[in-house]
């Protein structure tokens, strides 16, 4: 990345460097601890779970917790639902987003600016304010417990359009004109010129859409009432069964479910963090 | 392809041909934005209009019919039994929001100062600190419930072994919000750290060299150079965190369910329970509208402040 400003130009005492390492390692350990604790708890037996002093490493690895969880709840179905929902949202947001970003950056039509304000205005109206009427609408359409109900209200992301439009705008008009002269149509220009030239942004917003979809909780909670259409984030909650107000003690099973639900995201993060990080700094530059 | 078709069209004067061509082109450009606009109108703009309509009815989800009752629901909120709950909910929401803003800015800045260093070890540690943001709150929420457990939680065990008093965290009115904020802190600090690091790296080294010539110490350089030059980023984080944290729902729903005794009954959670637990869609609509207006006003205000604030060349 870049050089450290404070130590690049002046002699720094050695003990300060050591102190910095110690502090950084400490912070990293604290940050990683909840994940570690989740995995470790998922491998404990119920007896070990309730020891007065928690053990940092399981005495006996209870791998069967994972098998039990798969039997307790339809996790396969949750995973399927989550994948279909996430891919559906991703596909629709890419479709609507790429075309709209083209229209608002390189297109020319009457009312363009006003209509772009309509897009920006949507950023000011969060789902948390309008979920009641959307729920009423979706219920009227009989879309409760359907993929249509899960996906369609999320078909457009105003943020996605905004980010892509900025990126498309940075492509010089001459590239587009040249492609048009070569006989390329609008769709050809979008997919052979603009998208390849803005690949980092397209990838970044796609990855963020995927993660947001996978992790989404608020809307799936409203629109699904039955286990056969529940998504993973909700499925983990289903494991917390309480009987007549008595606290649940199956934390090992809950943690096994939790561990399974985050594996795809952790893998994605490890391999694609470059794009996620660039997305973070891009968002801040606007 | 589309153009060649047009080129073949005979018997048009050059001028009208271009006009026609332009018009067709602009219609096609317009068609590109239509799908997005249609969805936005159906799922954002129509619902907000419908929300106002619902707020003037007596709609209960368990009944099929409803009638218009004028301002009855608004009276319930401002002059009736709704007011106290609303005020309490607004207070909790604001307390949560302020705490999240402070944690995000102060925590993020401190972590950025610590982690803005290039070495293999630091390049490995930075993403680990940053990753919690991308773990579903629904998942990390249940992990934190277990960590914060009053009797068997590892945090209380750690506090005890350090000679500190364990806290009841999520099961007491006094500490429940703090418990939720533990999760928030874990999630947000790495994110703002990354933002601050990218802003720090865009500050020119010249400033620091000039300060060195003047013999400024590390703290002075931080206070007089780094901090002021980071202010645009601080304002960005302030505005985005404010808007996001006012809408907090997931962590509350997973960890406390608004309780105990409404101690964590934040605004969105209250709207949710009015609509889906009490089935009073009409009341939920009124609370939504007032909440929306508060959000709009605060957003406008913060944007205005951020415009006014001095922009350094960072």
Q: What is the 3-state secondary structure (H, E, C) of A110-167?
A: CCHHHHHHHHHHHHCCCHHHHHHHHHHHHHHCCCCCCHHHHHHHHCCCHHHHHHHHHH
Residues A49 and A89 in one domain: no
Among B33, B45, B158, the residue to mutate for chain A (most A Cβ within 10 A): B33
Residues A50 and A81 in one domain: no
- Judge whether A256 lies within some domain: no
Q: Which domain holds residue A9?
A: 5-67
What is the pLDDT at residue A238?
A: 83
Report how far residue A45's alpha carbon sits from residue B275's, in angstroms, rounded to the nearest whole number: 40
What is the pLDDT at residue A56?
A: 85
What is the pLDDT at residue B152?
A: 86
Tokens of B12: 């048009």
What is the pLDDT at residue A10?
A: 53
What is the pLDDT at residue B16?
A: 66
Question: So what's the ipTM on this one?
Answer: 0.89
Residues A138 and A48 in one domain: no
CATH 1.10.3720.10 holds for B82-308: yes
What integer is the mean pLDDT of A160-173?
92
Q: A123 at the B interface (CB within 8 A)?
A: no
The DSSP call for residue B68 is B
What is the pLDDT at residue A247?
A: 62
- Judge whether A18 lies within some domain: yes
Pick the more confident residue, A242 or B122.
B122
Q: Which residues contact A64 (CB under 8 A, 6 or more apart)?
A: none
Among B40, B59, B202, the residue to mutate for chain A (most A Cβ within 10 A): B40
Q: A25 at the B interface (CB within 8 A)?
A: yes
Which among A50, A99, A265 has CB closest to B35?
A99
pLDDT at A166 over 70: yes
A95 band by pLDDT with thresholds 50, 70 and 90: very high
pLDDT at A241 over 90: no
Residues A116 and A230 in one domain: yes
What is the pLDDT at residue B310?
A: 47
Report how far residue A110's alpha carbon sits from residue B109's, in angstroms, rounded to the nearest whole number: 46
Q: Are B99 and B182 in contact (CB under 8 A)?
A: no
Q: Which residues contact A179 (CB under 8 A, 6 or more apart)?
A: A188, A189, A192, A193
Residues A112 and A204 in one domain: yes
Tokens of B50: 């419908």
What integer is the mean pLDDT of A24-51?
92
What is the pLDDT at residue A191?
A: 92
| Residue B157: Cβ within 10 Å count | 18
Q: Phi and psi (nearest 5°) for B13?
A: -70, 155
Residues A20 and A131 in one domain: no
- Judge whether A191 lies within some domain: yes
CATH code for position A232? 1.10.3720.10
Where is the domain boundary, A204, A219, A238? A238
- Judge whether A13 lies within some domain: yes
Question: What stretches in chain B show pLDDT beneath 70?
Answer: 1-17, 308-314
Q: Which residues contact B239 (CB under 8 A, 6 or more apart)?
A: B299, B302, B303, B306
Closest chain A residue to B269 measured between Cα atoms? A128
- Judge whether A250 lies within some domain: no
A62: left (phi over 0), alpha (psi -120 to 50) or beta: beta
Residues A20 and A97 in one domain: no
Residues A186 and A57 in one domain: no
Residues A99 and A157 in one domain: yes
A240-258 CB burial, b ≥16 within 10 A, e <16: beeeeeeeeebbbbbbbbb
Helix or strand or coil: residue B57? strand
pLDDT at A54 over 70: yes
Nearest to B113 by CA among A23, A9, A274: A23
Closest chain B residue to A123 measured between Cα atoms? B44
How far does A50 lie from chain B, in Å, by closest CA?
A: 7
Helix or strand or coil: residue A249? coil
Which residues in chain A are contacts of B36 at CB distance < 8 A? 96-97, 99-100, 119, 156, 161
What integer is the mean pLDDT of A2-15?
58
Residues A30 and A45 in one domain: yes
Which among B154, B198, B285 has CB closest to A132?
B285
Q: Residues A108-139: pLDDT tens digits?
A: 999 999 999 999 999 899 999 999 999 999 99
Residues A43 and A100 in one domain: no
What is the pLDDT at residue B8?
A: 45
- Judge whether A205 lies within some domain: yes
Percentage above 70 pLDDT, chain A:
92
What is the pLDDT at residue A138?
A: 95
pLDDT at A286 over 60: no
Count of structural domains, chain A: 2
Where is the domain boundary, A48, A67, A86? A67
Q: Residues A244-275: pLDDT tens digits?
A: 455 677 888 899 999 999 999 999 999 988 88
Mark yes or no for CB contact A262/B299 under 8 Å.
no
How far does A151 lie from chain B, in Å, by closest CA?
A: 11
Residues A103 and A31 in one domain: no
Tokens of B107: 């925590």
Report how far residue A46's alpha carbon sits from residue A58's, in angstroms, rounded to the nearest whole number: 11
Report how far residue A21's alpha carbon sits from residue B172's, in angstroms, rounded to the nearest whole number: 37
- Judge whether A222 lies within some domain: yes
Q: A254 at the B interface (CB within 8 A)?
A: yes
Q: Residues B31-78: pLDDT tens digits?
A: 999 999 999 999 999 999 999 999 999 988 888 788 888 898 999 999
Q: Where are the domains of chain B?
A: 2-55, 82-308
- Judge whether A267 lies within some domain: no
């Amino acid at each position: 990345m870049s050089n450290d400003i404070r130590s690049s130009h002046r002699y720094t005492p050695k003990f300060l460097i050591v102190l910095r390492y110690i502090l950084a390692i400490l912070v990293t350990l604290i940050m990683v601890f909840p994940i570690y604790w989740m995995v470790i708890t998922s491998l404990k037996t119920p007896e070990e779970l309730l020891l007065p002093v928690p053990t940092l490493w399981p005495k006996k690895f209870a791998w069967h917790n994972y098998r039990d969880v798969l039997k307790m709840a339809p996790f396969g179905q949750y995973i399927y639902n989550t994948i279909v929902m996430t891919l559906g949202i991703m596909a629709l947001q890419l479709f609507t987003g790429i075309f709209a970003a083209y229209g608002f950056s390189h297109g020319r039509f009457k009312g363009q600016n006003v209509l772009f304000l309509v897009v920006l205005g949507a950023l000011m109206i969060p789902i948390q304010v309008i979920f009641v009427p959307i729920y009423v609408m979706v219920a009227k359409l009989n879309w409760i417990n359907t993929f249509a109900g899960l996906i369609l209200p999320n078909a457009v992301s105003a943020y996605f359009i905004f980010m892509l439009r900025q990126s498309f705008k940075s492509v010089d008009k001459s590239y587009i004109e040249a492609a048009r002269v070569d006989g390329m149509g609008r769709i050809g220009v979008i997919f052979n010129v603009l998208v390849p030239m803005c690949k980092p942004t397209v990838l970044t917003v796609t990855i963020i859409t995927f993660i947001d979809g996978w992790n989404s909780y608020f809307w799936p909670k409203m629109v699904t009432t039955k286990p056969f259409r529940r998504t993973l984030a909700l499925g983990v909650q289903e494991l917390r069964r309480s009987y007549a107000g008595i606290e649940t003690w199956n934390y090992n099973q809950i943690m096994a479910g939790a561990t399974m639900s985050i594996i795809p995201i952790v893998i994605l993060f490890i391999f694609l963090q470059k794009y996620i990080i660039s997305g973070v700094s891009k968002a801040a530059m606007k | 392809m589309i153009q060649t078709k047009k080129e073949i069209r005979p018997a048009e004067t050059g001028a009208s041909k271009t006009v026609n061509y332009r018009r067709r082109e602009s219609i096609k450009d317009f068609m590109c934005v239509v799908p997005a606009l249609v969805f936005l109108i159906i799922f954002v703009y129509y619902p907000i209009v419908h929300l106002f309509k619902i707020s003037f009815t007596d709609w209960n989800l368990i009944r099929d019919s409803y009638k218009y009752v004028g301002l009855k629901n608004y009276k319930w909120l401002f002059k009736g039994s709704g007011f106290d709950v609303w005020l309490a909910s607004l207070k909790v929401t604001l307390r949560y929001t302020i705490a999240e803003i402070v944690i995000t800015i102060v925590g993020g800045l401190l972590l950025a100062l610590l982690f803005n260093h290039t070495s293999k070890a630091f390049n490995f540690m930075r993403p680990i600190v940053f990753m919690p943001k991308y773990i579903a709150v629904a998942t990390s929420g249940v992990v934190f419930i277990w960590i914060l457990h009053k009797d068997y939680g590892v945090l209380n065990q750690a506090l005890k072994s350090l000679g500190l008093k364990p806290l009841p965290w999520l099961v007491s009115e006094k500490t429940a919000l703090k418990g939720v904020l533990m999760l928030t802190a874990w999630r947000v600090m790495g994110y703002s750290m990354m933002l601050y690091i990218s802003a720090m790296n865009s500050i020119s080294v010249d400033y620091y060299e000039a300060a060195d010539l003047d013999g400024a110490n590390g703290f002075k350089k931080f206070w007089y150079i780094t901090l002021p030059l980071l202010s645009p980023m601080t304002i960005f984080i302030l505005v985005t965190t404010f808007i996001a944290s006012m809408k907090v729902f997931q962590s509350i729903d997973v960890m406390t369910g608004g309780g105990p005794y409404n101690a964590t009954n934040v605004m969105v959670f209250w709207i949710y329970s009015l609509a889906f637990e009490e089935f009073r869609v009409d009341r939920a609509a009124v609370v939504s509208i007032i909440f929306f207006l508060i959000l709009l006003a605060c957003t406008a205000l913060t944007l205005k402040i951020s415009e006014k604030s001095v922009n350094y060349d960072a």
